[in-house]
């Protein structure tokens, strides 16, 4: 079978370009993730790796769609290889059925990782410049009714409710809850 894998980084991004490229290749089945490639903890990727069988070929529009780090990409390819599954990347013209394709895969994986590192570095530099110009202040703090917060925390401190229950009542995530507890010396 020809298996297509599509990934975009967010729910808002469109998959049509990748989908069209894979449909041109007449893939039999498509797996699509709308999640960052910085991690391999992606539902469709896991499903695809479980689904593929001996003799299948996984096709993706570009290697950056399957992984953003060299290590992750090589681990995914290793998993495919152990299952006797080939890998093709259309953009980079990589085909792991050849020794040259396997070599080029490693080179392009390193380039994809470098690209991601450069994006993160530029983003960090841009934020620093914006901060120095007073244009970036970060995410505004979550507004909390201080009286309600203190009341709920008092019940929590007196073992009348658990921390999880307190967070649920206040609609706060653990890091925000504990940070506010610390800030208020509760």
| Residue 116 and residue 38 in contact, taking contact as beta carbons nearer than 8 Å | yes
Q: Which two tokens stand for residue 151?
A: 């009341």
Count helices and strands (H / E) in the chain. 8, 5
Distance of alpha carbon 32 from the chain centroid: 13
Q: Closest Cα partner for 45 from 72, 15, 21?
A: 72
Is residue 9 part of the annotated active site? The answer reads yes
Tokens 């080939």 correspond to what residue? 86
Q: Which residues pair with 7 in a beta bridge?
A: 33
Q: Which two tokens stand for residue 28?
A: 């039999």
* Host H or E run for residue 86: strand 86-89
Q: What angle, rounded to 10 degrees, do the helices at 174-183 and 163-170 form?
A: 90
Active site residues: 9
């Amino acid at each position: 079978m020809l298996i297509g894998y599509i990934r975009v980084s967010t729910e808002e991004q469109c998959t049509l370009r990748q989908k069209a490229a894979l449909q041109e290749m007449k893939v039999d089945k498509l797996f699509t993730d709308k999640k960052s490639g910085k991690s391999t903890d992606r539902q469709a990727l896991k499903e695809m790796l479980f689904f593929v069988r001996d003799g299948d070929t996984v096709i993706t529009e570009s290697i950056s769609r399957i992984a953003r780090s060299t290590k992750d990409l090589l681990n995914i390819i290793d998993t495919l290889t152990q299952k006797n599954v080939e890998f093709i990347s259309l953009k980079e013209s990589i085909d792991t059925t050849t020794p040259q394709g396997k070599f080029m895969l490693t080179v392009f994986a390193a380039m994809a990782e470098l690209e991601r590192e450069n994006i993160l570095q530029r983003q960090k530099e841009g934020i620093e410049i914006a901060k120095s110009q007073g244009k970036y202040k970060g995410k505004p703090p979550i507004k909390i009714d201080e009286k309600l917060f203190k009341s709920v925390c008092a019940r929590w401190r007196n073992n009348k409710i658990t921390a999880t229950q307190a967070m649920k009542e206040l609609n706060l995530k653990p890091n925000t809850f504990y940070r506010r507890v610390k800030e208020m010396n509760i």
